[in-house]
Structure 1
Amino acid sequence: MIIRGRVRGADGALIGAAALTLIDVSGRQVGRAVSEVDGTYHLDVPAPGSHVLIVTAQAHQPLANTVLVGEDVSEVDVVLTGTSGLAGVVRISGGRPISGAAVTLADTRGEVVGSRITGPDGGYVFEELLAGAYTLAVSAASFRPVALAVRVPETGRVSQDVELAGGGRIRGVVRAGVHGEPVAQARITLVDAEGAVLAATTTGADGDYVFEDVPEGDYTVIASGYPPAASALRVGAGNHNRHDVELNY
């Protein structure tokens, strides 16, 4: 008793080196084979009856089929669905690639199927994905995180570049007096170019303050608590800006 046939892809291409395992109704392995270059295979079966044929191949989804083995030769062709890939580049909006960005891929149930860190070229790659809908989340220090819906096809690699908006950081120390002593509990306000207050904070015990995730643009930093002091600065996307403030008595 023999099972024979060919292993093909969904596009009709013949698949060699596919692993075929035959198990009986109790789950015991009764046969195993590997397909030839032309996709052909044959399995010797010790007894007729109902069996399960399991087929796996690189870059394809595994398949399990119930087959009924007769007294002679059973012809069973197998069609495997290919897996796909997702790749892209993470960049600053309209600018350079971002290395060290965390790229996470989750399925429709919210389960994480993989995560990558972008290289010097800002690139990432996910291989051997099943077709379907996914959520691609990208984050990097000093940039706003982004989440995108992507759909992976049955075969091939889909491209999805991602742009992150800065997200700069402003950090500094407020000092006063002849010796430049740090000023604690000073109120620091960040005002944008249109005069709108973007954020406010209070200095710590060492006079330090920080504003995170500041969009690119021109700003005024106002320190109060003593006679107020105002100073201007420009924040670039993803930049860390040092901006100390001097207060006069």
Structure 2
Amino acid sequence: MDNYKNDNTARRYIAHVSILGTTQIHLRNPYIIAWWSAAFPGFGHLLLSKYLRGFVLFIWEVVVNLQSNINVAMIHSFQGDIDMAKESLNTRWLIVYIPVYLFAIWDSYRTTVDLNKIYLLAERENHVFNSFSMGSMEINYLDKRNPVMSILWSLFMPGLGQLYIHRIVVAFFIVTWTVVFFYYSHLLEAISLLFLGDIQKATKVLNSEWLLFFPSLYGFATYDAYINTVENNKLAEKEQKIFLEKNYQHPDFYIEKEKR
């Protein structure tokens, strides 16, 4: 390793630090990624930093879900009214929904398996990557942060945990859609009425179709912020270790492994 910048000469890198965030590959469980895609198409790809594909699948899920009345059918099924659930579904949109939904699960699983293989190869090559990026509008750098704080900020408002660890693109996307979901679900209005003691009106004002998006959104925002904080901390430690070994460790230094 001759220098400490990403000069785009290696075949593979494990990370890249830019003003928009820190992107890295690391070992992941394909089943967990596939599960998040099943919970909400697009989330699995966002966890893999496949942003464009994740954004497309997320927006597609919101639009087609609303058009096919899937959330409405789920609400009726939760209440045990199966016949009403069947009647509420728009089959013209539902038939479009199913293939893309299955593709999101399959593609996120396949991509995770591929990225795990690429990570093992990149780890073996051990090529340097940049750890500091400065632009006219932002500064980003590798450092260690508290995973618990990522969870807390995500619970206050989805997207804040991503801002805390400088995942600007994902943070902007999540915050924007959180505002949209809050607006159309009337959740904040219902909370205000609940504080005033008007439970009946608070329940009536809610739009349950939009409200049903929140569990997945909150869960993903919290999980994504936590996992990426942990992995960023590991990456910062790795970069520091490489720097210290190159600049301060004696070339002849060697630790013999204990024989068993």
Q: Do they superpose with TM above 0.5?
A: no
Q: Which has the higher contact order (CA 8 A, sep 6+)?
A: 2
Provide TM-score, normalisation by structure 1. Answer: 0.22
Structure showing the higher strand proportion among its residues: 1
Provide TM-score, normalisation by structure 2. Answer: 0.21
Structure showing the higher helix proportion among its residues: 2
